[in-house]
């Protein structure tokens, strides 16, 4: 087992995989499904153990991660690519309608690698395709940010948006404070509470420490 596999296993054991799966089922049903066309092809970039891609409603599902253990947690029919976020060469150009990336950018080694990941996503996205990014916002999570062993690159909703624009993306929606920093805590996570939270944006400004950025690959 590699260091990466050990880190994943420890992190998901601490958080509780079943809890994460249940939470993402609600998040997709109540929020993220509305951002994705029902028949679209969706890639979960740095998919972890597949909580998002297993739950999201779409036509065709792809998942990518550098951890080989990720494949064992994916539902039947999901195509898996063991690769870095900055190297999506196995996926055909303009073949994906939406790319979702959660809590990956902060693990990249540099802004240069982050730009390479943006370029890789641009290549595989169809024209007018959507790039959905979720991650810890250094502006609001500056205390907790460095408590995660493999956090390297500090980013905010503003810096991520600027990097995407440099690649050619159009920014459609930015929520600086959306979800809480982590699920690895004792806060209640009953389905009804998650639904209430998602439908009550004032609560985001109190508890949200992760940004949400939705960008689009322009038709030109």
Q: Which domains does the chain have, with CATH numbers?
A: 3-217 (3.40.50.150)
Mean per-residue pLDDT for 182-187? 61
pLDDT at residue 185 above 60? Answer: no
**pLDDT at res. 149:** 87
Instruction: Report pTM.
Output: 0.91
**pLDDT at res. 184:** 61
**pLDDT at res. 219:** 62
**pLDDT at res. 20:** 86
Report the distance separating Cα 43 and Cα 61, nearest Å: 6
């Amino acid at each position: 087992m590699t260091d990466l596999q050990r880190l994943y296993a420890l992190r998901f054991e601490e958080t509780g995989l079943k809890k994460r799966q249940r939470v993402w089922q609600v998040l997709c049903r109540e929020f993220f499904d509305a951002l994705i066309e029902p028949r679209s092809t969706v890639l979960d970039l740095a998919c972890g153990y597949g909580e998002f891609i297993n739950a999201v409603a779409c036509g065709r599902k792809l998942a990518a991660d550098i951890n080989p253990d990720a494949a064992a947690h994916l539902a039947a029919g999901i195509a898996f690519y063991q690769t870095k976020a900055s190297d999506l060469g196995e996926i055909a150009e303009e073949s994906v309608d939406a790319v979702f990336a959660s809590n990956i950018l902060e693990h990249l080694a540099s802004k240069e690698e982050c730009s390479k990941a943006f370029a890789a996503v641009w290549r595989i996205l169809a024209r007018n395709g959507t790039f959905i990014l979720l991650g810890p916002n250094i502006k609001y999570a500056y205390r907790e940010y460095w408590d995660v062993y493999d956090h390297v690159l500090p980013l905010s909703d503003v810096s991520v948006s600027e990097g995407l624009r440099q690649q050619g993306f159009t920014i459609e929606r930015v929520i600086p404070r959306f979800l809480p920093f982590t699920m690895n805590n004792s806060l209640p996570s009953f389905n009804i509470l998650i639904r209430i939270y998602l439908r009550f944006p004032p609560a985001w400004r109190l508890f949200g420490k992760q940004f949400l950025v939705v960008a689009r690959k322009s038709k030109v």
